[in-house]
Structure 1
Amino acid sequence: MSLCEDCIKCVTHEGTPEGKWETINGIECYVGVPTGEYQKNKVLLFICDAFGPSLINNQLLVDDFAKHGIRAVAPDVFAKDPLPAEYETSEEKRKTFDIQVWFSGHTPEITRPAIDKVIDALKADGITEFAAIGYCYGGRHVFNLAFENITSLSIANHPSLLKLPVDLETYFSSSRAPLLLNTCTNDWQFPLEAQAQADAIFGEGKFSHGYRREYFDGCTHGFAVRGDLSVPKIKAGKEGAFKSSVEWLYQHGFGPQKAAL
């Protein structure tokens, strides 16, 4: 497994974060809590890309879920060592950055314990059900959590680090969590062939727990969180992926009890 060049490309989005940082069982987390009605026993685990929850783009997405009545928790699985912030916008610096060296110290096996600690603490605090949404790197964790049926609902946006088609087959055979995939045209990590494999494995009602795949034409890996919103197709893809995610959460009981689809 490895990351790709698109995993470190980023256009920083504009906005003012409204969530807050909390330390949960020793793990720093960016948390969005709805101001209105929401289900107190349910949490959306927001598992970030390699830039982690310190990236404003991720914070704004967490805030947006909270605004839609969904409590979202984004753990810093990288222990304050995400991809360096200066690589967000500098193509020159990205060329000199050895992403595989960074990745060797931040594999999913290394970062998973942080998620488990947060889950354990939230369970002790009364949370009884978890959904998971992952972007790029975070998509790997979404699959792993679903394999163990720790989570009851999954959303993966242009997931990275999957073994294909093995992980799709493992998900089908072992998980009970309904699966939403937000995919795109240009994605080395989850290409068109993999998308077709997912449809063949899960589609047409084969996965009884629920499956949906959205496709955003003209978008590239990372579009749902780090894309250039000045490009109409990228903006439409980012907004469309968020909309489909909220609809999936509402459809499967993670929205406010009175929320309409």
Structure 2
Amino acid sequence: MHYFSFAVPLWGLAAFATASGSSCCKAAGKCPVTDVSALRSTGDPVGNTTVFENVTMYYTGQEDKCRQDTAVLFLTDIYGLASPEDLRLADSFGRAGYFTVAPDLFDGAPSPLDMNAPGFNQTQFLAAHGPDVTDPLVAKGIRYLREVRGYPRVAVTGYCFGGRTRGRRRVRGAPGHVDGRRGRGHYAAGLGRARPARRAEPPARRQEMENLFDNLTTPWQVDLYSGAMHGFAVRGNLSDPQMRFAKETAFIQAVRWFQFWAK
């Protein structure tokens, strides 16, 4: 199975101020992007939760350090805030210098970590969490970062379910991670709104999607990872050297994307 990422910049909902966080990072050396020192795959999540407009928000990262003008909105996979892997990855963006917020997209009732659990119907679950339900929650996450935390720029990263949701947001600098098995419809929905994503596709489908990107006027990027599993950017088996490489590289690519485009 081949997994690849594609990337194009999302243009913002509002005017953005002049960047200042980048110089802070370079001077202080506190925002690693060329190594994986910020990335954690073990240990307890280190963030906290708050409630904004009746939505639980997991927040992580220190606001008094670098990248003070840009925050990250982290859109989880189907396991939501119950997933330690999602929270640890959000923490990793915090350690990379970005104050990061993950809104609860499932109102406290995400998919069980074992999707084969008795009584769980994935089809019904996804139908109950369509765009009419999740889009307002994402919008609240953006408002929380802008109105409560005061960030003029919001970058977005989404994984699997969150990647599909992120594709509809017109927010600047938005990597995402979408499982191609959900079909081209979800992919095409984000065209012109621009975003990076991790996606599982056979080679023929990959070429088809690259042809679609040729019609974009905004920059984009495609990264192909061989031997990766679905969800590798969040739940990759780090005992497998090839999987570790894919997960670590995907994280670094996302941070570098934010550095370049979210400004």
Question: For the superposition of Structure 1 and Structure 2, which TM-score range results when normalised by the shorter chain?
Answer: 0.7 to 0.9
Q: Which position in structure 2 is the counterpart of 1:3?
A: none
AA aligned to 1:21 is T
Q: Which position in structure 2 is the counterpart of 1:245?
A: 254
Q: Which position in structure 2 is the counterpart of 1:7?
A: none
Cα deviation code 1:138-193 (max 9, x no counterpart) = 11111111xxx2x01221223468652x5555544x42x4x32334xxx3xx5444
SS of aligned partner of 1:220? coil
Q: Runs (4+) of structure 1 moved beyond 6 Å?
A: none
- Cα 1:49–1:200 shift into 2, 3 Å: same
Number of aligned residue pairs: give it: 222
Q: Which position in structure 1 is the counterpart of 2:161?
A: 137
Q: 1:201 Cα deviation (Å)?
A: 2.4
Q: 1:36 Cα deviation (Å)?
A: 5.7
Scaled by the length of structure 1, the TM-score of the pair is 0.75
Gaps of 5+ in 1: 1-12, 255-261
AA aligned to 1:108 is P
Q: Which position in structure 2 is the counterpart of 1:117?
A: 140
Q: 1:229 Cα deviation (Å)?
A: 2.0
Cα deviation code 1:71-118 (max 9, x no counterpart) = 111000100000124x17xxxx44864211222222232222111122
- Correspondence 1:41 to 2:69: yes
- Correspondence 1:182 to 2:198: yes
- Correspondence 1:16 to 2:56: no
Scaled by the length of structure 2, the TM-score of the pair is 0.75
AA aligned to 1:153 is G
Q: 1:244 Cα deviation (Å)?
A: 1.0
Higher mean alpha-carbon deviation, 107-116 vs 213-222, is at: 107-116
- Cα 1:196–1:34 shift into 2, 3 Å: farther
Q: 1:26 Cα deviation (Å)?
A: 2.0
- Cα 1:160–1:138 shift into 2, 3 Å: farther
Contact residue 69 and residue 152 of structure 2 kept, 8 A: yes
Q: 1:18 Cα deviation (Å)?
A: 1.3
Cα deviation code 1:1-42 (max 9, x no counterpart) = xxxxxxxxxxxx531211111222221111112366223332
Q: Which position in structure 2 is the counterpart of 1:10?
A: none
- Correspondence 1:152 to 2:172: yes
Contact residue 157 and residue 241 of structure 1 kept, 8 A: no
Contact residue 164 and residue 178 of structure 2 kept, 8 A: no
